[in-house]
Amino acid sequence: MKVLVAVKRVVDYNVKVRPKADGTDVDLANVKMSINPFCEIAVEEAVRLKEKGEATEIVAVSVGPQQSQEQLRTALALGADRAILVSTEGTLEPLAIAKCLKAVCDSESPDLVLMGKQAIDGDNNQTGQMLAALLGVGQATFASEIAIDGDNVSVTREVDGGLQTLSLALPAVVTADLRLNEPRYASLPNIMKAKKKPLDTTTPADLGVDASSRVTLMGVELPAERQAGIKVEDVAQLVDKLRNEAKVIS
Ligand code: AMP
């Protein structure tokens, strides 16, 4: 079983992001970039499937600038066998990324596509769903447990009221939620070995994909600063303030 894992380069989750001075986008100058945490979970799951003897090959794919090779090397150090970079200038929107991933799937024919449930930069939560639609295959999003069962994959999802279990015919697209697993750290020998693993580069044009934008980012801004709170003397004063100042009770 061949597994394709989609990996996105994003601002590291420890970084407090700032808008650019002109508010046109997030300022990425000198900011630490990492593999999207949910993509790391997807890679870990693929590696576990390989360790169980269920996956035979893991291909990591990223769509983004040349520097995304760093995140692909991380995926290779975690256990992916080879990587493909779809090299782009600037940021693509989810539909364009899904089209690039679809083109890669057409040539790679994976049995299972593992992705993150969302990228922590744009918080889109769209790419997996769009890819499944473009491929015409089943999708299971927000996976907290995955089990291969012959020609099917059984996926447990965390939904509002509890757990839902789906069975999908392979090939299928599955997106990883936080509790699917706890990713391992890449060991130094594996980081060294990853440098020698194959990493191919292609472009949307080579894949025949029209990556032009249909959505325009109008601006980004920080949330309004929270005002300092006050301490009330007693319940009567609290009720008075809620009624007469905040006007949230009558
Ligand atoms: P999003 O729809 O942007 O929230 O992203 C959901 C998931 O789609 C991510 O966790 C990745 O697995 C995949 N994805 C999104 N953008 C890219 C990209 N540029 N390259 C590779 N995978 C991506």
Q: What's the number of domains the chain is made of?
A: 1
Any idea what the CATH number is for the domain that residue 12 is in? 3.40.50.620
Asked whether residue 248 is assigned to any structural domain, the reply reads: no
Best residue among 39, 61, 174 to mutate for probing ligand 1, ranked by most atoms within 8 Å of CB: 39
- For 43, 114, 204, 209, 233, the CA distances from 96, given in Å and listed in that order, are 22, 18, 9, 8, 57
What confidence score (pLDDT) does residue 92 get?
93
Asked whether residue 233 is assigned to any structural domain, the reply reads: no
pLDDT, average across residues 32-50: 98
What confidence score (pLDDT) does residue 250 get?
84
Question: 219: domain range?
Answer: 2-225
| Order of strands, sheet of 57-64, starting from the edge strand that comes earlier in the sequence | 162-169, 152-159, 138-149, 172-176, 112-116, 2-6, 57-64, 82-87, 199-202
pLDDT mean across residues, the chain: 96
Cα angle 81-86-88, degrees, rounded to a multiple of 5: 150
Asked whether residue 49 is assigned to any structural domain, the reply reads: yes
Q: Say if residue 97's pLDDT is above 90.
A: yes
Best residue among 70, 127, 135 to mutate for probing ligand 1, ranked by most atoms within 8 Å of CB: 127
